[in-house]
Chain A
């Protein structure tokens, strides 16, 4: 496809880099991982297949081949040659037709998956671009797509030279589905079930679950009560790196810490007593005190927060957190399998 307009930012994304944080490289990857997985599931691609992450719409592209795409994530108007299209469905996108993603009504990020593997540049086993590090991305400079960029598909044989992205053509159906971090144990295969697409729940107020951790013992019960019993608002400083919240100060703990490893979803409390949620592109270490972390199952929703969205924290224990995460993965995997079976029948 040929890029006509990128909006604020459009770029390839996947599940991020794994195993490079001790060298100082950030994790990166899709913020709303759920929508990324869903988009791939709909077009029958492995979960590790790169998708395009579009921030706040404004994306226009023209197809260079007949392909099928799926668009997931934020609630948004999608047009192909000015005809409105459905989200979370497989769409036919004919050669020469124009695909347009408008401004989202609710949510912030959309994910476009294509039924053919893109040719991507791979840095640290991931296609992600990190602007802050100037690493990764199509030209290894950390930049997203530019207007007039042409994204090529494997096997299309026009512009691509040495292709390295994972080809799926020679994989068996079973591998296609289990490719990536998904484990067979949790497949829950049931062709009779008609599963609804497990989309990321969009809202004006997001309730996210938190496990206490790190320096939580430094925060007294009053501060914790203030933390869990108020509605915070997402400020303008919200990116793939993290989200700074505004609201009533919970107070600060006077402590100097040595910088330490930051987990995905960790909640730092700044000296002004307000939280910063650390996300996929966070720096690997930092020295602010942390009260705990958002559970993995609830992180995708944060990828759909916009400045002005409301956030509430709810305390959660580690068992519930793990169950919620496993359940989320099972749902998406079951959906992918059913989708695959349906496609085979057609």
Chain B
């Protein structure tokens, strides 16, 4: 077995005159680990929070860092990011060498385990969301039976497979609150619709390729809808005193863990109305 070193898989490139982008090569280590390394670097960046930092966008295997041209230049930023990566060497090597079938860490209870004290910085920020999904909703369009047909399995099996996995938020984007969750079991993997829907209803839980997601709002979309979640993915972050100043926060953030569980139609309706 070859040993993969972080110097060989992490690369810092220019993105624009005020942005650098950090890439992690996933070919040797897989997407999950590459994304975890991105999470480690992102966290290290936020702990240091240099004064020139304007924006950061973590995604599947990359982290875009935007800096203020007033406060610094690309050379200083490059050096800073290199140092971040070197300082996080321990965590990164640990991440590269850890077992692939590390589902125990993601499925909960990881924070309290005393044996993982050394990894606490990695684990404590991990949030786990359990998300209710109504797979039997008849009032809105669904591809559940079509997916079951195409994959030659029962609808119950589709639901079971979809709920059995713990997913990781690889990236957020496309629209506010939209999280790309992976990886979907191969048994459910299917290419996108050849003709995208013009309107995917709000709350739709959909699958495509090896990913799944929830639509935070009505939107066009080319994924297969298999259910609906009553959960609000965007919530207000303001104190409610002002009517002229508002914020929205996203429930799902890159690096979070997500599990789905089935609810009945009446539970769904109650939830939506509550």
Contact = CB atoms under 8 A, between A and B. Distances in A.
Contacts of B244: 119-122, 161-164
A266 B15 CA distance: 8
B60 A211 contact: no
A100 to B, nearest CB: 29
A261 B246 contact: no
Contacts of A65: none
Contact of B16 (A21, A27, A263): A263
B15 A213 contact: yes
A123 B245 CA distance: 6
A140 B14 CA distance: 35
A342 interface: no
Given A259-B60, A261-B62, A263-B18, A123 B174 contact: no
Contacts of B217: 134
Contacts of B21: 213-214, 260-261, 263
A222 interface: no
Interface string B25-57: 010000100000000000000000000001111
A326 interface: yes
Nearest to A121: B244
A23 B249 contact: yes
B233 to A, nearest CB: 10
A19 interface: yes
B260 interface: no
Given A123-B247, A161-B243, A284 B57 contact: yes
Interface string A279-296: 000011110001011111
A321 B248 CA distance: 34
A23 B176 contact: yes
A126 to B, nearest CB: 11
B69 A22 contact: no
A313 B250 CA distance: 38
Interface size class of B (residues with CB under 8 A): 35 or more
A277 B174 CA distance: 17
B15 A214 contact: yes
Contact of B14 (A119, A258, A318): A318
Contacts of B56: 21-22
B15 A296 contact: no
Interface residues of A, number: 57
A212 B173 contact: no
A265 B19 CA distance: 11
B173 A181 contact: no
A260 B247 contact: no
A258 B34 CA distance: 12
Contact of B57 (A212, A261, A290, A295): A261
B227 interface: no
B64 A318 contact: no
B212 interface: no
Contact of B63 (A120, A181, A213, A261): A261
A8 interface: no
A164 B177 CA distance: 26
Contacts of A123: 245-248
A322 interface: yes
A24 interface: yes
Contacts of B249: 23
Given A261-B64, A322-B73, A293 B177 contact: no
B69 A326 contact: yes
B5 to A, nearest CB: 21
A304 interface: no
B16 A135 contact: no
Contacts of B178: 24
Nearest to A183: B70
Given A211-B14, A263-B16, A296-B69, A285 B246 contact: no
Interface string A43-68: 00000000000000000000000000
A338 to B, nearest CB: 21
Contacts of B247: 123-124
Nearest to A133: B176
Nearest to B20: A213
A214 to B, nearest CB: 6
Nearest to A18: B54
Contact of A162 (B19, B61, B242): B242
Contacts of A214: 13-15, 21
Nearest to A298: B17
A285 B169 CA distance: 14
B15 A22 contact: no
11 contacts: A22-B58, A24-B178, A213-B16, A258-B171, A259-B171, A261-B59, A263-B16, A263-B64, A263-B66, A266-B15, A292-B16
Given A260-B57, A318-B17, 4 more contacts: A258-B61, A258-B62, A285-B173, A326-B69
Closest CB pairs A-B (n = 8)? A261-B64, A261-B57, A293-B16, A258-B60, A321-B17, A285-B173, A213-B14, A263-B16
